A = this chain, B = another copy of it.
Amino acid sequence: MSEPTDSTNSPLRMRRSTTAEQIKHLIMQRGLRPGDTIPTEAELCNDLGVSRSSVREAIRTLATLDIVEVRHGHGTVVGNMSLTPLVETLVFRGALTPGDDLEALREVIELRRVLDLAFTDAVVDAHKGKANPIIERLVTNMVERSNNNEPFLSDDRLFHSEMLSPVGNPLAVQLVAAFWDIHTAVLPKLDLALPDDMRQTAQAHSDLYWSAQRGDHEGYRHAVIAHYDPLVRMLQKQAKS
């Protein structure tokens, strides 16, 4: 039985935690908020008693998780802890599987649809009777663009965030935005975007807003179905081939 290295030979090594965890601990201890600067690499080397490389790898880890944000030549600040790591992981997972990527896309789209349906009541109640100039402008813009066969990606993303925003769950807003990002990142690998489908999608956005605006839960649900219908049909067609 080999003794597990009693570590008494390393005086300051009672830390089993990694450098990244120590930096996280430091952020919590000092009560730093997103945007606040964290100590420089050199300071962290002294404070934590580790080398520059270790500090850099730890910061790299935290930057990947969007827990910190590195600004070249300026310094490192606390990040806003977005869902970027989720997006990156799932986008790569979708891009990795060569023949099976539409299965990954199907799962993402189903989740988006299910989430939209799940928030139906909250969204409709939040928008009922309240005009929203921002969303109205987005909707008219999307419809117009679809008629000219122009894309409307950025409007699309903003629309869904704005619709979900007033329900009072920022995490949910971020999550659907993240799935939107994954969706649009994985999708271009497949050929689609037919003009008719684009027009149907734009119209569905319009129906979503106006259904919610007049408190029509059932109409909203139908609009959700119609919104994802072109994608579902496309996936079924691809699956047959």
Contact = CB atoms under 8 A, between A and B. Distances in A.
B108 A171 contact: yes
Interface string A92-132: 11011010000010011011001101110000000000000
Contacts of A24: 92
Interface string A29-69: 00100000000000000000000010011001100111100
A81 B27 CA distance: 27
A19 to B, nearest CB: 11
Interface string A65-97: 111000000000000011101101110110110
A169 interface: yes
A222 to B, nearest CB: 16
Interface in A159-173: 169-172
A236 to B, nearest CB: 15
Contacts of A171: 90, 104, 107-108, 111
* Majority secondary structure, A binding face: helix
A28 interface: yes
Contacts of A56: 53, 57
A85 B92 CA distance: 13
A175 interface: yes
Contacts of A117: 118
Given A57-B60, A85-B86, A117-B118, A111 B172 contact: yes
A31 B95 CA distance: 11
B108 A27 contact: no
Contacts of A66: 89
Interface of A: 24, 27-28, 31, 53, 56-57, 60-61, 64-67, 81-83, 85-86, 88-90, 92-93, 95-96, 98, 104, 107-108, 110-111, 114-115, 117-119, 169-172, 175
**Interchain residue pairs A-B with the least CB separation, the first 9:** A118-B118, A85-B85, A107-B171, A86-B86, A64-B64, A81-B93, A114-B118, A65-B89, A57-B60
